[in-house]
């Protein structure tokens, strides 16, 4: 039987696919940035590198996971298993551990005094006449972080023959906040259901929990709040604490502590008390006993996160007490065990006629200095609510005597849910590098939260997780970058979001420069694109009611005025924007004097915040010389064009990565373009109906009528709890 050339070719292709030898083998994203695929040496600076043996202890659980991560990573990246050894016998040994765990490491006499609990050094050394790489820390957890760093160097193709790295985290508590309900729903979650399978815990601990811990440890995250800030009391019952303890056991080797969001009224709901008044001795005793019970089960429990007197949650103000009274009562219960309270400043009230953006500052600033030592106040990055762009929160720099954490939203509630490709690194960096001017120039938000500005040792950064049961964890491959960048910036808030994007692309997809460069560019521009097609020039909060999907600038259906888009944009025949200058709500004066003066002055206000601080005439001349109306239409259009360009970029990259991830991203970008166009058209149609102005020449009219956009309704939007 003779086979045709075509048949032979087909057979050969099948063979290649069968052996999985092709670099484009389908991937489902489960491995995140810890893929450890065989390195292509021509794409790296590793030509000379030859790892020969691994010297790593395993007498504690953290040492064991460090060793197995290195074995797994090195085998995957280098294509061969490395023998374990006790001593350095060849050039190319990798040594990991602490002087306490290894006599060999003690013998190196590396200067590690200033590393603290979590720091590490990675050094190229000579041991017994052989070149080696030493990953050394004071404590096991530092060595694990160092091991992940070393693997990252390999994964990103760095030269590793002359290493002298020294790393310590700038922020102490680097924490994910899961907005997960015990029934499996995730508020503002777009990646499936909750990964916590409460029903099967504590007996069944899915391997996913371990992979979750590995991913977090690889970027330095050391805490996780398991349940939603809109908390129920059930999580504090013995049945659930047992489940929480099981998760804590899985996470412990990876240096991750568990925290819980608590319901302030729990003493009533599960404690049988008549009150939750923080100054009532019975209430205090109940919380002390509850803390004792928790620590008995979970000796390294992190503490409580609290949303109180906000959006309907109970809190100390129900008893005419302050937020400080509430936080301190809980802090006192946790203090004997070393736990902390992360008390949220996200408060605003329907009955308060004051500008919503001012209310948190008004309430918390007077409490500065009144919180006990183990309380951090957790402040959202902006004064409204995680919008595509807001100025930084005025509490940063305003509460010198209180440790403030910043809270970012990693899940894209306001930035296109799962499907829009929006890399949040530039948003996080913009906030962290913002100068509060509170104590002179250079008083950045980063310095407030890393404690260096006011000498706080207790510091923290929180990110609302975008993690769910989707196979790829985050609802899309590119959403993984937002989890990644949060962790890296929490470790060091002065890293550049561009450098982090590059690292992530290399680890997640490829080291091929022709792929890396355009993808990093695309990511770096993606947040600005979303700002443009959703809320340009300082507009905020224009999304659909409740579910927050899509544009609805016309909407006034929400029960509370401060949940309605019309409250925020205030567009009328004359102009648009919220006047927060001294002639308006005077929110500007919550900022330090030089910034207040700048924001108060229409001409000096950065145009990216223009309509956040000012109500501006449609015919106001912008710096470009165009009118505001023209610029608004131009920005909306620019946003759509940017997404079109992102699609073109992605199309040009076909073949560089596996088909599965390529195709999903391509499909999601198509959704993004469609929705960007919808945002643009619906917004322009609405604002035009208010301004009565013709579209600037050359700009296309919206595809549909305003009536059409207003008629759209979305009863089954994910992530919204009132399904």
Give whichever of 217 and 552 is closer to ligand GCV, judged by the CB atom: 552
Closest alpha carbon to 370 in 337, 327, 333, 336: 327
Strand ranges for 298-339 from DSSP E: 303-306
What lies within 8 Å, CB to CB, of 273 at 6+ separation is 267, 280, 282, 283, 286
Pair 310, 363: CB distance under 8 Å? no
Q: Do the Cβ atoms of 198 and 242 come closer than 8 Å?
A: no
Token pair of 546 as six digits: 């409740």
Helix H or strand E encompassing 340: strand 340-344
Identified catalytic residue from 187, 227, 385, 579: 385
- Positions 112 through 151 that interact with ligand GCV (CB under 6 A): none
Candidates 200-208, 222-230, 480-488, 593-601: pick the segment binding ligand GCV (CB under 6 A). Answer: 222-230
Nearer Cβ to ligand GCV, position 340 or 379? 379
Q: Give the DSSP per-residue string, 454-521.
A: TT-S--EEEEE----SSTTSSSSTTTHHHHHHHHHHHH-TTS-HHHHHHHHHHHHT---HHHHHHHHH
**Nearer to ligand GCV by C-beta: 496 or 557?**
557
Tell me how far, at minimum, the Cβ of 367 lies from ligand GCV, in Å: 19
**Partners of 463 in the β-ladder:** 176, 408
The answer to whether 385 is a known catalytic residue is yes
ω into residue 404 within 30 of 0, thus cis? Answer: no
Beta bridge partners of 53: 93
- Strands 53-56 and 130-136 come out as unpaired
CB of 265 to ligand GCV, least distance (A): 16
Contact between 568 and ligand GCV by CB under 6 A: the answer reads: no
Helix H or strand E segment including 133: strand 130-136
Least distance to ligand GCV from the beta carbon of 189, Å?
10
Question: Which range of residues in 81-89, 225-233, 512-520, 589-597 is near ligand GCV by CB under 6 A?
Answer: 225-233
Strand partners, 377: 343, 404
- Give CA–CA dist 254/579, Å, rounded: 48
Among the listed residues 69, 407, 413, 589, the single catalytic one is 413
CA angle 250, 252, 253 (to 5 degrees): 95
Q: Least distance in Å: CB of 409 to ligand GCV?
A: 8
CA-to-CA distance for 219 and 471, rounded, in angstroms?
20
Kindly state the number of chain residues that form the binding site for ligand GCV, as judged by CB under 6 A. 11
The values of phi and psi at residue 504, to 5°, are -65, -45
Q: Which stretch binds ligand GCV (CB under 6 A): 38-46, 63-71, 226-234, 520-528?
A: 226-234
Minimum CB separation of residue 385 from ligand GCV in Å reads 5
Nearest to 122 by CA among 147, 156, 105, 140: 147
The neighbouring-strand residues paired with 341 are 304, 375
- Give the nearer residue to ligand GCV in terms of CB position, either 387 or 444: 387
Helix or strand run (H / E) with residue 127: strand 120-127
Rounded to the nearest angstrom, the gap between the alpha carbon of residue 223 and the centroid of all alpha carbons in its chain is 13
Question: Beta 460-464 vs 404-409: how paired, if at all?
Answer: parallel
Are residues 217 and 255 in contact, defined by beta-carbon separation less than 8 angstroms?
yes
Q: Which residues ranging from 441 to 500 are in contact with ligand GCV (CB under 6 A)?
A: none
154 in Cβ contact with 160 (< 8 Å): yes
C-beta of 186 vs 539, nearer to ligand GCV: 186
Binding positions for ligand GCV, 156-215, rule CB under 6 A: 179, 187-188
Backbone angles phi, psi at 543, to 5 degrees: -85, 175
Residue 136 has phi, psi (to 5 degrees) of: -130, 140
Q: Which residue has the tokens 């301004």?
A: 691
Query: Quick check: 417 binds ligand GCV (CB under 6 A)?
Result: no
307 binds ligand GCV (CB under 6 A): yes
- Of 193 and 285, nearer to ligand GCV (C-beta) is 193
Residue 169 or residue 223: which is nearer to ligand GCV going by CB?
223
Please provide the DSSP assignment of 75-103 as one string. Answer: HHHHSSPPPB-SS--STTEEEEE-TTT-H
Stretch that binds ligand GCV, among 192-200, 228-236, 317-325, 661-669 (CB under 6 A): 228-236
**Residue 464 Cβ vs ligand GCV, minimum distance, rounded to whole Å:** 7
Residue 667, both tokens: 């499909």
Pick the piece of the chain touching ligand GCV (CB under 6 A) from 16-24, 102-110, 223-231, 454-462: 223-231
Select the span of 114-122, 227-235, 389-397, 429-437 touching ligand GCV (CB under 6 A). Answer: 227-235
Residue 230 lies near ligand GCV (rule: CB under 6 A): yes
Q: Omega before 612 cis (within 30°)?
A: no
Cα 384 versus chain centre, distance: 18
For ligand GCV, the closer of residues 359 and 677 by Cβ is: 359
678 binds ligand GCV (CB under 6 A): no
Mark whether 311 is an active-site residue.
yes
Find the part of the chain contacting ligand GCV (CB under 6 A) among 70-78, 141-149, 224-232, 244-252.
Answer: 224-232
Closest approach of ligand GCV to the CB of residue 346, in Å: 5
Cβ nearer to ligand GCV, comparing 261 with 443? 261
Is 502 among the residues known to form the active site?
A: no
CB of 379 to ligand GCV, least distance (A): 11
Q: How far is the CB of 307 from ligand GCV (least distance, A)?
A: 5
Q: How far is the CB of 172 from ligand GCV (least distance, A)?
A: 22
> Which x/- pattern, by CB under 6 A, does the window 265-304 give for ligand GCV?
----------------------------------------
Please provide the DSSP assignment of 609-627 as one string: GHHHH--EETTPBPTTSSB
CB of 602 to ligand GCV, least distance (A): 30
How is residue 561 annotated by DSSP?
A: G
Residues 344-373 that bind ligand GCV (CB under 6 A): 346
Backbone angles phi, psi at 631, to 5 degrees: -65, -40
> Based on CB atoms, which residue is closest to ligand GCV, 67 or 358?
358
Site string for ligand GCV, 385-404 (x = CB under 6 A): x-------------------
The residue among 381 and 510 lying less far from ligand GCV, judged by its C-beta, is: 381
State which of residues 122, 229, 236, 588 lies at the interface with ligand GCV (CB under 6 A).
229
Q: Which residues contact 368 (CB under 8 A, 6 or more apart)?
A: 398, 399, 400, 401, 402
Enumerate residues 605-664 that contact ligand GCV by CB under 6 A: none
307 vs 456, which CB is nearer to ligand GCV? Answer: 307
- Sorted by sequence, the CB contacts under 8 Å of residue 199 that are 6+ apart come out as none
* Shortest spacing between CB 407 and ligand GCV, in angstroms: 8
Residues 319-348 that bind ligand GCV (CB under 6 A): 346
User: In the bound complex, what is the minimum distance in angstroms from residue 563's beta carbon to ligand GCV?
Assistant: 8
The residue from 197, 280, 311, 607 that is catalytic is 311
- Can you give the binding site for ligand GCV, defined by CB under 6 A? 179, 187-188, 228-230, 307, 311, 346, 385, 413
Catalytic residues: 311, 385, 413
């Amino acid at each position: 039987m003779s086979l045709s050339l075509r048949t032979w070719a087909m057979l050969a292709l099948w063979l290649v696919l069968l052996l999985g030898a092709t670099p484009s083998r389908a991937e489902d994203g489960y491995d995140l940035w810890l893929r450890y695929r065989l390195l292509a040496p021509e794409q790296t600076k590793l030509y000379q590198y030859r790892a020969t043996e691994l010297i790593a202890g395993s007498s504690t659980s953290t040492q064991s996971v460090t060793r197995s991560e290195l074995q797994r990573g090195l085998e995957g990246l280098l294509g061969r298993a490395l023998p374990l050894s006790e001593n350095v016998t060849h050039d190319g040994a990798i040594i990991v551990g602490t002087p306490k765990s290894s006599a060999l490491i003690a013998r190196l006499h590396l200067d590690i005094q200033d590393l603290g609990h979590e720091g590490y050094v990675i050094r190229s050394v000579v041991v017994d006449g052989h070149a080696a790489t030493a990953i050394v820390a004071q404590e096991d957890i530092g060595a694990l972080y160092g091991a992940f760093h070393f693997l990252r160097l390999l994964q990103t193709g760095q030269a590793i023959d002359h290493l002298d790295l020294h790393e310590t985290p700038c922020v102490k508590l680097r924490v994910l906040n899961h907005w997960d309900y015990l029934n499996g729903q995730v508020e503002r979650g777009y990646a499936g259901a909750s990964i916590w399978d409460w029903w099967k815990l504590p007996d069944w601990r899915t391997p996913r929990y371990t992979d979750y811990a590995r991913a977090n440890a690889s970027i330095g995250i050391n805490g996780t709040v398991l349940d939603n800030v809109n908390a129920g009391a059930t999580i504090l019952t013995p049945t659930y604490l047992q489940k929480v303890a099981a998760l804590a056991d899985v996470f412990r080797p990876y240096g991750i502590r568990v925290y819980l969001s608590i319901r302030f009224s729990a003493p009533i709901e599960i404690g049988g008390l008549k009150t939750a008044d923080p100054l009532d001795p019975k209430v205090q005793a109940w919380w002390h006993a509850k803390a004792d019970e928790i620590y008995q089960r979970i000796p390294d429990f992190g503490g409580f996160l609290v949303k109180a007197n906000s959006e309907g949650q109970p809190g100390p103000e129900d008893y005419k007490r302050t937020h400080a009274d509430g936080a301190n009562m809980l802090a006192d219960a946790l203090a004997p065990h070393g736990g902390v309270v992360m008390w949220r400043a996200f408060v605003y009230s329907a009955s308060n006629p004051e500008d919503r953006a001012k209310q948190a500052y008004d309430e918390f600033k007077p409490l500065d200095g009144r919180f006990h030592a183990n309380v951090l106040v957790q402040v959202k990055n902006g004064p409204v609510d995680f919008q595509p762009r807001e100025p930084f929160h005025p509490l940063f720099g305003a509460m010198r005597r209180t440790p403030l954490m910043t809270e970012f939203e990693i899940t894209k509630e306001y930035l296109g849910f799962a499907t829009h490709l929006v890399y949040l690194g530039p948003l996080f960096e913009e906030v962290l590098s913002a100068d509060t001017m509170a104590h002179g120039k250079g008083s950045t938000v980063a310095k407030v939260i890393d404690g260096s500005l006011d000498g706080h040792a207790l510091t923290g950064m929180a990110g609302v997780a975008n993690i769910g049961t989707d196979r790829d964890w985050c609802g899309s491959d590119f959403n993984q970058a937002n989890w990644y960048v949060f962790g890296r910036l929490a470790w060091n808030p002065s890293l550049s979001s561009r450098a982090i994007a590059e690292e992530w692309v290399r680890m997640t997809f490829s080291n091929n420069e022709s792929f890396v460069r355009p993808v990093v560019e695309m990511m770096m521009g993606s947040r600005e694109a979303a700002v443009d097609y959703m809320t340009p020039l300082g507009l905020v909060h224009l999304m659909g009611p409740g579910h927050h999907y899509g544009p609805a600038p016309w909407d006034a259906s929400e029960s509370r005025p401060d949940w309605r888009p019309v409250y925020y944009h205030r567009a009328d025949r004359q102009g648009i924007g919220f006047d927060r200058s001294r002639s308006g709500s005077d929110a500007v004066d919550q900022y330090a004097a030089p910034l207040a003066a700048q924001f108060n002055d229409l001409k000096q206000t950065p145009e990216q915040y223009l309509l956040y601080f000012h109500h501006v005439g449609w015919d106001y001349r912008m710096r470009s010389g165009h009118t505001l109306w023209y610029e608004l239409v131009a920005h909306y259009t620019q946003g759509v064009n940017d997404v079109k360009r992102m699609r073109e970029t992605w199309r040009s990259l076909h073949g560089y990565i596996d088909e599965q991830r390529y195709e999903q991203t391509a499909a999601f970008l198509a959704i993004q373009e469609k929705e960007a166009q919808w945002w643009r058209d619906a917004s322009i149609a609405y604002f035009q109906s208010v301004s009565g102005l013709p579209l600037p020449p050359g700009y296309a009219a919206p595809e549909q009528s305003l009536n059409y956009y207003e008629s759209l309704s979305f009863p089954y939007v994910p992530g919204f709890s009132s399904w």
